[in-house]
Amino acid sequence: MKIAIGNDHAGPDYKQAIVKHLESKGIEVINHGTDSYDSVDYPDFVHPVANDVANGTADFGIIICGSGNGVAMTANKHQKIRAALCWTKEISALARQHNDANIISIPARFTAIPQAVEMVDTFLNTAFEGGRHQNRVNKIPC
């Protein structure tokens, strides 16, 4: 499995913890995020993640900013992307099960690092249920 990750200045600590966790499991990570706490423009770090997922270079994406909203909005501009803003492991599971989300958006200012790592694990280990949800997912793209 290969994961693309991107973050702005609100997420370097989150990214480092998530990358360390994923790499300990043998998962390859493509890092598009900043390691700085200096203010940056999150789209510069999110578009590369969305491109990697959309073109198949990465299986899934992880994006992190303060609220999770800006990065999710940016990623969802890409035609093949379904980025889900998650703040609990239950929501991250439902994002995969019901929405076939391919990018998880994490709000760094509203979650703890251990919680974010747990959400990522849940997201990556939960399958899309298909069935009645497939028709709805098919209607998402414009």
In the chain, % of residues over pLDDT 90 = 99
Annotated catalytic residues are: 65, 98
Q: How far apart are CA 107 and CA 116, in angstroms?
A: 9
Of 84, 60, 54, 89, nearest to 1 by C-alpha is 60
Q: What digits encode the pLDDT tens for the residues 13-62?
A: 999 999 999 999 999 999 999 999 999 999 999 999 999 999 999 999 99
Domain boundaries, the chain: 2-138
**Which superfamily does CATH assign the domain made up of 2-138 to?**
Sugar-phosphate isomerase, RpiB/LacA/LacB (3.40.1400.10)
Q: Evaluate if residue 92 carries a pLDDT over 90.
A: yes
Are 89 and 126 in contact by the 8 Å Cβ rule? The answer is no
Average pLDDT estimate for 104-125: 98
At 133, the pLDDT band (50, 70, 90 cuts) reads very high
Interacting residues of 114 by C-beta distance below 8 A, sequence separation 6+: none
Indicate the pTM of the whole model. 0.97
Q: Evaluate if residue 134 carries a pLDDT over 90.
A: yes
Strand order in the sheet with 103-107: 28-31, 2-7, 60-65, 103-107, 83-85
At 142, the pLDDT band (50, 70, 90 cuts) reads confident
DSSP 79-93: TT--EEE-SSHHHHH
What integer pLDDT is reported at residue 115 of this predicted model? 98
Query: Phi and psi at residue 129, in whole multiples of 5°?
Result: -75, -25
What integer pLDDT is reported at residue 6 of this predicted model? 98
Residue that has been written with the tokens 């973050």 in this structure: 7
